[in-house]
Amino acid sequence: MIHKAKSLAKSVVGKKSTVLLAASLGLGSLFFSSTASSAGLGVQQTSAERGQEIAFTRKLGNCLACHQIQGGVSGGNIAPPLVAMKMRFPDRSQLRAQIYDPRVKNPDTSMLPFGAHGILTPAQLEDLVEFLYTL
């Protein structure tokens, strides 16, 4: 039911709001909005939606472990909250690089080398950046 609402909302409201709507409908829908259920309805996830899933999934980005993120629950306080991302990272390649290997900017970082250690694939990194730019 949540996915039907999502696809309806998307056709009416547009990408960004759909992400917010999905978030407000409850985090559970995101964990279960896998390709299986989307494919069943013939609805493709947007890059930002996939990115949100990656950010909120413990075995993938697990970004909530350390960051507070709009739409996420119980984000940690180890790192800065992820807000105003376009303003903070006007250069997309810089944001991507920071996630790829944060040790470059800070050798003592607590952040994972998501790209350099193959925790996330290049495609996942792209989706994640798309999502971060909605924040």
- We find the least distance from the C-beta atom of residue 78 to another protein, in angstroms, to be 5
119 contacts another protein (rule: CB under 8 A): yes
Smaller CB separation from another protein, 18 or 128:
128
Q: How many CB atoms lie within 10 A of CB 22?
A: 23
CA–CA gap between residue 115 and residue 102 (Å, rounded) = 10
Using CA atoms, how far apart are residues 50 and 39, in angstroms rounded to an integer?
Answer: 13
Q: How many residues sit close enough to another protein to count as binding (CB under 8 A)?
A: 17
By beta-carbon proximity to another protein, the closer residue of 10 and 67 is 67
Q: Rule CB under 8 A: is residue 107 a binding residue for another protein?
A: yes
Nearest alpha carbon to residue 66 among 80, 54, 52, 56: 80
Minimum distance from residue 44 beta carbon to another protein (Å):
30
Residue 99, class by beta-carbon neighbours within 10 Å (0-12 exposed, 13-18 middle, 19+ buried)? buried
Residues within window 70-99 making contact with another protein, judged by CB under 8 A: 74-78
Binding another protein by CB under 8 A: which of 5, 25, 27, 65? Answer: 65
Nearest to 9 by CA among 55, 114, 1: 1
Query: Which residues make up the interface to another protein (CB under 8 A)?
Result: 64-66, 74-78, 103, 107-108, 110, 112-113, 117-119
